[in-house]
A and B are shown apart, each in its own frame.
Chain A
Amino acid sequence: MKQILPLLALGLLAGCTTILETGDRIERGLTPPDAVNYATTKPEGGFSTQMNDNRIGNKVELLAARKSKTDGGYARVQFDLRNGSYLRQIINVSFEWLAADGSVVESQPNWIVTPLEPGALTTITATALKAQSAECRLRLISR
């Protein structure tokens, strides 16, 4: 009996991930299709967000957006993301660069698959190609 108990506990623990993943799949089935979420840097510092898919908002936190300049004077932004859930999340990211007047001047159209381990901090870096690029708009979508 004593030998069976740890085995049973191990079996239950191994099953936990499956239960959570099944729950995640059911949640996805019951809610509207994935929507794109945005985080945009502000000229005065900091960032603003537009969350269109609250499921990702409940699991992935955007901690900071740091703006800097490269040696050549081009804008560079680093976004710090944290997976606050207990499961590995896979998100897709891409970004656009906006000029000072808000017009889109360049973009990375394709999605980059970005795995986020539970609790892990992930930094996404975007460097502008054009001198007029001033603010960065990060686009996030769940898998």
Chain B
Amino acid sequence: MNKLFLLACAVLIVGCGTPASYKDANGRELVVSLDKVNIQDFATAGAQMLQSMITSPSFSKGAPVLQLGSITNDTADNFDTALLLSKLTVPLVNAGRVTLLDNDATANAARAESGSKANVPHAEYVLKGKILEDRSNAGSTRQSSFVFQLTLVEVKRGVAVWTEEKIVTKQGSKNSVGF
């Protein structure tokens, strides 16, 4: 009888879990974490920054040559900053709005070797930035803000021609699913 009871308890405990399932990466049923940047946070910040960046006069004509600079991750969370940059570069490159320079060592060496040959593109703009975080709490309510900062620098003059900051703030007492 005792064994049967234990087995019933085990079945009940196992039954409480939610089986893994596929979700729309752009949907509203994604996990919202208080202690880390979620995939939808990169999408939100990236989409808003893209909309701001394309209104910059630098993007009004042709396809400027863009090189990706460094994006500093100044948060406690370890992630690849390409998660943010791809939200900007993928739509821009696919729409033909920028010429994106390959950033690997071979490409950089080839460009350095070519000097100032006309058919070899050289960076007109460099995109760089920083991701910061701020955490606070009141009682059991925790709040995390992730600050995404990007700056577009014109190489010729060495001046910032566009800069933007987007803040994603999440508040709650525990991680949840959905908006």
List residues of chain A with CB under 8 Å of any chain B CB. Answer: 70-72, 74, 76, 90, 92, 106, 108-113, 125-127, 129-130, 141, 143
CB of B95 within 8 A of CB of A106, answer: yes
For B92, give the chain A residue with the smallest CB separation: A129
- The B28-50 residues at the A interface (CB cut-off 8 A) are 28, 40, 43-44, 47-48
Determine if B51 and A92 form an interchain contact, defined as CB atoms under 8 angstroms apart: no
Check A108/B55 contact, CB under 8 A, given A113-B179, A130-B95: no
| Nearest CB of chain B from residue A112's CB, rounded to whole Å | 6
Q: Which of B44, B54, B92, B95 sits near A112, CB closer than 8 Å? A: B44
The dominant DSSP class at the A interface is strand
Nearest residue in A to B54 (C-beta to C-beta)? A127
* Complex interface residues of chain B between 84 and 141 (CB less than 8 A to chain A): 91-92, 95-97
Q: Is residue B2 within 8 Å, beta carbon to beta carbon, of the partner chain?
A: no
On whether the beta carbons of A74 and B54 are closer than 8 Å, the reply is yes
**A110 contacts B43, CB within 8 Å?**
yes
Closest to B62 in A: A72
For A125, list chain B residues within 8 Å (CB): 51
Chain B interface size band reads 20 to 34
Q: Looking at A90, A109, A125, which has the most chain B CB atoms within 10 Å of its CB?
A: A109
Any chain A CB within 8 A of the CB of B59? yes
A-B residue pair count with CB separations less than 8 angstroms: 46
A-B contact pairs, 21 of them (CB 8 A): A72-B59, A72-B60, A72-B61, A74-B54, A76-B55, A90-B179, A92-B28, A92-B179, A108-B47, A108-B51, A110-B44, A110-B47, A111-B28, A112-B48, A113-B44, A126-B51, A127-B51, A127-B55, A129-B95, A130-B95, A141-B28
Using CB atoms, name the residue of chain A closest to B40. A110
CB distance from A107 to the nearest CB of B (A): 10
Which residues of chain A are near B91, meaning CB under 8 Å? 106, 129
Q: Which residue of A lies closest to B97 (CB)?
A: A129
> How many Å from the CB of A78 to the closest CB on chain B?
12
